[in-house]
A and B are shown apart, each in its own frame.
Chain A
Amino acid sequence: LAHGGGGRAMRDLIEEVFTGVFRPESGEDQARLSSDALQVPGARLAFTTDSYVVTPVEFPGGDIGKLAVCGTVNDLAVGGAQPLWLSASFIIEEGCEIALLHRIVASMAREAEAAGVKIVTGDTKVVEKGSCDTVFITTSGVGVIPPGRDLGAVHIRPGDVAIVNGVLGDHGATILAARGDLALSAPLQSDCQALGHLMAAVAGACPNLRAARDATRGGLASALNEMAEAANVSVELDEASLPLRPEVKGMCEILGLDPLYLANEGALVLFVPEAEADAALATMRALPSGRAAVIVGRATERGSVPVRMTSAFGGTRIVDMLVGEQLPRIC
């Protein structure tokens, strides 16, 4: 692929790879969106953006395109919005294979369809070799928050329970293995998935759903620390309850990694009042993206640290935000 200044070759590329798949409704340089969803009094718009950079761009269980759709859909969904429209902007490294682009774009289209969102506008730039790594994608998303729904960490109260939708660390472990060329005893897959339907269902079943957050970079540990700080509560995790695949656990043990800090791309943690915990669990477990839903801990009055984890044999460990690069500390 040769980079160009918007000439013929570029238009062909866009035609061939992008427009053919995404089929924008207007031929103009903008998407025109129906405001029907906003007609309900009290409804609010949600708007988010994120850039996606991952090495390798294709990995077991997904690729950068799927990641770019799911990530932005999830950012909308955990805030209580119904995701509706996405934009997608591509920075492509000169020399990137067309076949790879085709696969990425197809994957995006498939994921968007499944998540019920439309990719309505986009952009592509080709840059010189070495200016980026294969392909970077930025997606922005617009969704609508129904009237009366107000999710936020500030609403978490002591006594609320923390629920995770599924196994932790699969994405981070998969990427690490792919990057380090590690020979895994059992193949791992990224958990990359859209969580819009799951969030809609839980919000429906739990009128007092407090807050949700996707546990992406920095893992569950970082998501919980942010939420606890915002809510001025502490969170007590129960180590034995953490949903971890034995393969991930095993890999973490060999590599000396803490699964609480591994990135996820389809995992969220939400807080509900204890009285609604059963409803939340039942609702989540009925959906594929929530099959392994489980209570992992609860909020308490604010203590000396935001997040702590009790282990099966007693002892309580502080679970911090990740500070810089994890370097060994045992002297």
Chain B
Amino acid sequence: MTGRRIRVRGQVQGVGFRPFVWALARRFGVSGEVSNDAEGVLVLAAGGDLDGFEAALSAESPVLARVDAVEGVPAEVVAEGFRIVASGGPGAETRVTPDAASCSDCVAEIFGSGRRAGYAFTNCTNCGPRYTILTGLPYDRAQTTMAGFVLCDACRRDYEDPADRRFHAQPVACPACGPRLWFEQDGGEVAGDSVALAAEVLARGEVLAVKGLGGFHLACDATDAEAVAALRARKRRPAKPFALMAPLVQVVRHAEVSEAERVLLQDPAAPIVLLETAGEALPEGLAPGQGRLGWMLPYTPLHHLLCAALGRPLVMTSGNVSGEPQVIGNTEARDKLAAIADGFLMHDRDIARRLDDSVERVTPQGPMVLRRARGRVPGTLPLPEDFPDRQVVAYGGQMKAAICLVKNGQALLGHHLGELDEALTWEAFLQADRDYAALFDHRPELVACDLHEGFRSTQHARSKGLPVTEVQHHHAHLAACLGEALWPRDGGPVAGIVLDGLGLGPDGTIWGGEVLLGDYASFERRAWLTPAPLIGGDRAQAEPWRNALVRLDAAGLGALADGLFPDAPRDMARQAARAGVNAPMSSSAGRLFDAVAAMLGLCPMRQSYEGEAAMRLEALAVAEPGHPGYDFGVVQGAKGLQLDPAEMVAALAADLAAGLSPGRIAWRFHAGLARAFAGVARGLVEQGEARAVALTGGCFQNALLLDLTVAALGDVPVLLHRRTPANDGGLALGQALVALAQMESR
């Protein structure tokens, strides 16, 4: 009989899509079959309400699915009833989807009275572990760390019943057949209710190590200032903000939660969301000097049980030894965390892949990913129009390394790995390279990386024995922003405001505060911050006073620097700058933020974590909004426009002398920087040179800067990062797109 052959593309495998189709078919009286293949899901359908059926495929798709396209064509279909065809056949690999937070049905079940009551490993097709338990492909139970747990009869019936929400949920389990939870202290298991025992540790103000989804966490009672201080001391983490976990009803007591923020918190990815502090106070030690705290909702049954048992918000910080990646193995945890944790909440479902918690925030311009990891990978992003169908792998940067693979018009931007000089992180990078290649069945013909040969990622790219495209750091940031905004390849030039830490320019100097005019294939540098020496190279990042010193000296305010930083080795620093000893010139915007923060007394001598000074500066400014921005000098040079901070620094010094509050000064700086760069970019659009403005680079994680820049741009079309980080975590996507674009235009 004549029916339809319907192709469904997108994230449609491993998310309960086939049983969903099966249920729809029954509703619309359709017969036929559904199967997975290399391109997604294929439905053969005949009879019944075919139009209604086809429309419902995208309109009602399961929570974890993302339907990119539904394409129906007439076809002969011979069928009786509707059946689900097992996956198989060549190329019919079943993709794995990101891990997903416990669904409301499963949460109801663990707090209910059924056989999974209180069971910490309850999950279904709509939720549960995926990528973190994957050991091989295709994704089925035998290729996960659930392989050793043999389904009991009851669970097998759930697994095989298309009407059950556990139909083909690979990690399905129950207390009779699944993983086991226990509490450990001093190397030995303690008999009793393990969640209750763990909650007692927390209630006593002690530190608990909890085995989670993508790694171990270290937890303590977030309302207990002494516990927080003890955790800081033991972890040797003086000030970097701790992430918190609590059910939504508790979160709203301590934070301002907008509707968009609530949606993001409750997303199946369950990211850490930066929320403005409000309401009942929590200890200052959770995030010293910050107006926001990072919150996430419990996202596994274990988290739900633990949060319920304590009844107070938890600190949930990654379980690692300072500098190293999060531990994932039980033995490794006992070994490395024993000096920090007073007790361990352990289980015997192995973590196959380490994934940090994702970090996101909602700005007035919309949601924005800061760290892309658990819940977001291995999700893919569609490529913009007109890119050639070639396979490329890009290796990203050095500090927030992440790999990107491109194939079939999709980009797989891998998870946040961290700093590649750290030995275990480097091993994780090598493993991620192998893993993603296998997962994506990837055979790259081209490799992309940064220009900087000191990046380990660049050296790795060169070692692959394939043609290498080296991409200028900020061109890659620009391309990443264009790509995620789906700017077409031939969409015309865009003015990219790239405010960043730093990256090597083709001229051998260090860039980082630029307006680039270009597209995926090429760019020109049209404007930049007047360069200043980075005294001590990377040391300048750790010690904000160095950046303040060079900017004050350049503004003729050396005496002020002497007064502000009496204990700093200023003489030697100045000599090094003069003699050019490890003091390269740089137009970095990130270091200008550090400079201003140091002038205002925010961790001038040393930042205890990356971005501390800038984040504190943002927090200060947000608290005292609405003052006119400082002016930047504008110098037309032979090669482009220089935006000179000297004028701004002089005005700032005058404000300081006049006793203006640091918050107002911080605001004036943000507003001035936004206006200066927006002015240049807007000019390029108005003169017809650019079609839109893209905002990218690590500084645009700063929501205030982002907002002020967008405001200063007026009605000019603006492209922003949302699902990819504006920082170096998104770099690899841009590199891949530049490599593809250059390949095509060659």
Contact = CB atoms under 8 A, between A and B. Distances in A.
Contacts of B579: 179-182
B80 interface: no
A256 B580 CA distance: 12
A131 interface: no
B456 interface: yes
Tell me which of B500, B501, B698 has the highest count of chain A C-beta atoms within 10 A of its own C-beta: B501
B324 interface: yes
Interface string A147-186: 0000000000000000000000000000010011111100
Interface stretch (A116-124, A190-198, A287-295, A323-331): A323-331
Given A313-B322, A323-B453, A323-B454, A330 B538 contact: yes
Given A182-B572, A327-B452, A256 B538 contact: yes
Given A316-B422, A317-B423, A328 B534 contact: yes
Contacts of A254: 536, 539, 569, 572-573, 576
Contact of B502 (A256, A316, A328): A328
Contacts of B459: 323
A300 B79 CA distance: 64
A254 B579 CA distance: 14
B573 A317 contact: no
A256 B504 CA distance: 18
Interface string B455-490: 110010000000000000100000000000000000
B67 to A, nearest CB: 36
A316 B421 CA distance: 8
B503 A255 contact: no
Interface in A113-152: none
A314 interface: yes
Nearest to B509: A327
Interface string B176-202: 000000000000000000000000000
B336 A330 contact: no
A311 to B, nearest CB: 7
A304 to B, nearest CB: 5
A305 B422 CA distance: 11
Q: Is the interface of A mostly helix, strand, loop or mixed?
A: loop
B424 interface: yes
B391 interface: no
A331 B398 CA distance: 8
B502 A253 contact: no
B400 A315 contact: no
Contacts of B420: 318
Contact of B399 (A179, A255, A329): A329
A269 B582 CA distance: 27
A31 interface: no
Nearest to B501: A331
Interface string A226-258: 000000000000000000000000010111110
A327 B423 contact: no
Contacts of B422: 315-318
B426 A305 contact: yes
B518 to A, nearest CB: 20
B572 A313 contact: no
A308 interface: yes
A280 B370 CA distance: 53
B727 interface: yes
A329 B452 contact: yes
Contacts of B571: 183
Nearest to B539: A256
A330 B541 contact: yes
A308 B426 CA distance: 11
Contacts of B512: 331
A331 B584 contact: no
A331 B502 contact: yes
A305 B534 CA distance: 30
Interface string B522-563: 000000000000111111110000000000000000000000
A328 B575 contact: no
A313 B575 CA distance: 33
A137 B540 CA distance: 38
A331 B399 contact: yes
B728 interface: yes
B581 interface: yes
Nearest to B423: A316
Contacts of B430: 304
Contacts of B586: 328
Contacts of B453: 323-324
B336 A314 contact: yes
A6 B510 CA distance: 50
A159 B580 CA distance: 42
A182 B575 contact: yes
Contacts of A304: 423, 426-427, 430
Given A256-B535, A256-B539, A317-B421, A327 B576 contact: no
A102 B538 CA distance: 43
B235 to A, nearest CB: 10
Contacts of A308: 423
A311 B537 CA distance: 21
Contacts of B541: 328, 330
Contacts of A184: 572
Interface string B560-595: 000000000101110110011110101000100000
B434 interface: no
Contacts of B535: 256
Contacts of A323: 453-454, 459
Contacts of B236: 313
A316 B424 contact: yes
B323 A315 contact: yes
Interface string A76-116: 00000000000000000000000000000000000000000
Nearest to B581: A180
B641 interface: no
B541 to A, nearest CB: 4
Nearest to B400: A331
B610 interface: yes
Q: Which 5 A-B pairs have the closest CB atoms?
A: A256-B536, A315-B323, A256-B539, A314-B321, A180-B579
11 contacts: A254-B572, A255-B536, A316-B423, A317-B422, A317-B423, A318-B421, A318-B423, A324-B453, A328-B510, A328-B584, A331-B503
Given A179-B581, A304-B423, A323-B453, 9 more contacts: A180-B575, A181-B579, A254-B572, A255-B576, A256-B535, A316-B422, A328-B541, A331-B399, A331-B503
Interface of B: 236, 321-324, 336, 397-400, 420-424, 426-427, 430, 452-456, 459, 473, 500-504, 510, 512, 534-541, 569, 571-573, 575-576, 579-582, 584, 586, 590, 610, 698, 727-728
